[in-house]
Amino acid sequence: MKFGYRCIILTEESTFRMVLKKGSVVVMDAFYRETWAEIDVEAIFQNVNHVRELIPVHKTLMAVVKANAYGHGDKEVAEIALQAGADMLAVAFLDEAIALRKKGIKESILVLGAVPTLHIQTALEWDVTVTAYSKAWIEEVASILGENSQLHMHLKIDTGMGRLGVRTKEELHETMKIIASHSGFVLDGVFTHFATADELNSSYFEEQYTFFEEMVRIVKEYNFTPPMIHCANSAALLRRPKDIFNGVRLGISMYGLSPSEELKEVLPIPLKQAFSLHSRIVHVKKVKKGSHISYGATYEAKEDEWIATIPVGYADGWIRKLSNFEVLVDGVKVPIVGRICMDQLMIKLPKMYKMGTKVTFIGNQKGAEITIDEVAKHLETINYEIPCMVAARVPRVYTRDSQHIDVNNYILR
């Protein structure tokens, strides 16, 4: 596969030494710390490509890159997804859409969340498609939208999620009357969001689906045939690829993660996790039995122990609740000991390791693995949250075939 990166990694040392070609400018030392996340662009490409092959060719594939592409990097993932067969993009709010525009993304972008009417003109200026989600919102926009303006929008139907959306048939009729009477509204889509698509019990899903069909029929009564009608997130499109109308929203599974533990065994396509997190040992010491480690002196060495310091902390997103979790060193799982600090944490080693030894928090190392799902289970949360919580101060390094091809250091960019 060909990707749009123009950079070469020279070596992988204790600190990354890179030559990044930006036109004729060469920039050395893309980042200076010993902690980084790696994003496997080939994994993202294949995940999108598998979905593209799963759904009929005439159906629109929307790649969801909100929240900095679930922590993977918005521009980078957007470009990969579009190359792999995505037709358009989706984000959560207007700032995210503008950020993509400023980074050179020209394809259609839908804001899934609420855009305050105060900022509709800004959406028009940046050629961003917005979500219409209530009669009141439509009325207010209609009062400020010029007849010569063309506001592209998707109408959100609340079929049972309880978030944004027109909720009743009566409100939909009133909303559609306003849309039909104003030439500035361009209705590009109608959509809803399922609350339980990631569960094997499909009874509530069926209720929502049936109600959405009824609401779509009302929209068509006003002589509208939106080019995109979409209800399927990752869970719905993977479970029922034939019941997705004419468009899908690919989110969590683009990044190689199952929408839920329940669905892992019934996924129709292979998914490959794209995100990993690494650091290096910056200090090693042998402490005596009875020594205490970190804040609160909560950990006491039960014998003479090798303790290593790693420059990762809760300010990087590795929160204190992970203080009793494990990391990989030389392909072996070793425990985090003591409380995780803001910028550092300590691990107990089975033997002496030299400074600069690689430590893996998420990912593979010499045949051993720590998955995002394992971290999520330990934190009693969902896999969506894990890459999102890794802070922007952690550089993202993009890899293909295990080779580093690009880097995004948010602090220095």
Residues acting as catalytic residues: 66, 295
Structure tokens at 2: 């060909």
CA distance 284 to 151: 60
Amino acid 410 reads Y
Residues 6+ apart with CB under 8 A from 231: 191, 192, 193, 194, 208, 209, 212, 244, 245
CA distance 291 to 297: 9
Amino acid 312 reads V
- Burial of residue 402 (CB within 10 Å: 0-12, 13-18, 19+) is exposed
DSSP state letters, 289-340 = TT-EESGGG-EE-SSSEEEEEES--GGGT--GGGTT-EEEETTEEEEEES--
Distance of CA 83 to the CA centre of its chain: 17
